[in-house]
Amino acid sequence: MNPKDLKSFLDFKSQQYESIEFISHDPIQIPHQFSKKKDIEIAAFLSATIAWGNRVSILKSAQKIIELMDDAPYDFILNHQEHNFKNFNGFVHRTFNSQDLEYFVRALQNIYKNHGGLERLFSLSKINLQERIHQFKKTFFELDHPSRTQKHISDPLKGSAAKRINMFLRWMVRSNKKGVDFGIWKSISTSELSLPLDVHTGNVARKLLILKRKQNDAKALLEIDTNLRKLDPMDPVKYDFALFGLGAFERF
């Protein structure tokens, strides 16, 4: 396809898949249970953190986390007591276990009590958003923590495409006009966002010749981000819906 036809095709597919119906198949349904900003962003962050593997399993595990937090994420983060962590015993989603979840709760409490919250941490610097993810990880793990838990926050400066954090940021920043993303973070522009690059989006992008690199890593993310910004510099990540939908639902 020439650039004009490619844009028309991906614009059409983005509009097709960015719809309320998309929510029932996606981890974004977990934060959609809430109406208050801090509940939404905490539920979204934790759901995105475990968003790899079988989608049914992801949804089940993410819902379990919310239940373990008494269906009140922000209140639990701020006011939990040590004895509450006993409820986490036995929780596991693939390699994310109760020990990891306990540290995530402690780290989030530190972020809300001492750093102004999640949005402020991602908005503080004028460096690009992928570098901010790197800085975020450093702050997230500034408390004593199990070394194993660090693997659950990706670092773009160490070669990762950071799919789950980029997905979380898409949820928080992009407009809620179509009822899917939330648009509750106003301090970050949609033009800064990066694609949540995964198996589906990567494979479709290669077939469409907007990604040549074979690995789904930080270099591949830079390549595909550059090409998507040519199609829509103000909202390049809307094409996540098109690329994912084509791969996951149409076997493109």
Q: Which tens digits make up the pLDDT trace of 73-130?
A: 999 999 999 999 999 999 999 999 999 999 999 999 999 999 999 999 999 777 899 9
Is there a contact between 13 and 205 (Cβ–Cβ < 8 Å)?
no
CA 121, chain centre distance (Å): 15
Closest by alpha carbon to 66, among 89, 92, 96, 43? 43
Distance between CA 123 and CA 201 in Å, rounded? 26
Confidence of residue 35 (pLDDT cuts 50, 70, 90): very high
Phi, psi of 89 (to 5 degrees): -55, 130
DSSP 141: T
**Helices 218-231, 3-17: inter-axial angle, 10-degree rounding:** 100
Paired strand residues for 160: 217
Length of the chain counted residue by residue: 252
Q: What is the pLDDT of residue 251?
A: 84
Closest by alpha carbon to 146, among 80, 206, 196, 97? 97
SS3 217: strand
Handedness of CA 160, 183, 188, 74 (dihedral sign): negative
Find the DSSP H helices in 90-198: 98-114, 118-123, 129-140, 163-173
Q: What is the pLDDT of residue 25?
A: 84
Taking residues 155-180, report their average pLDDT: 97
Q: Which tens digits make up the pLDDT trace of 6-21?
A: 999 999 999 999 999 9
Distance between CA 182 and CA 197 in Å, rounded? 20
| Residue 35 burial (C-beta neighbours within 10 Å; 0-12, 13-18, 19+) | exposed
Q: What single-letter amino acid sits at 48? A: A
| Residues whose CB falls within 8 Å of the CB of residue 82, separated by 6 or more in sequence, listed in order | none
Distance between CA 180 and CA 177 in Å, rounded? 8
Is this structure's pTM higher than 0.75? yes
Cβ count near 36 (within 10 Å): 13
CA gyration radius, the chain: 18
Closest by alpha carbon to 49, among 146, 142, 148, 149? 149
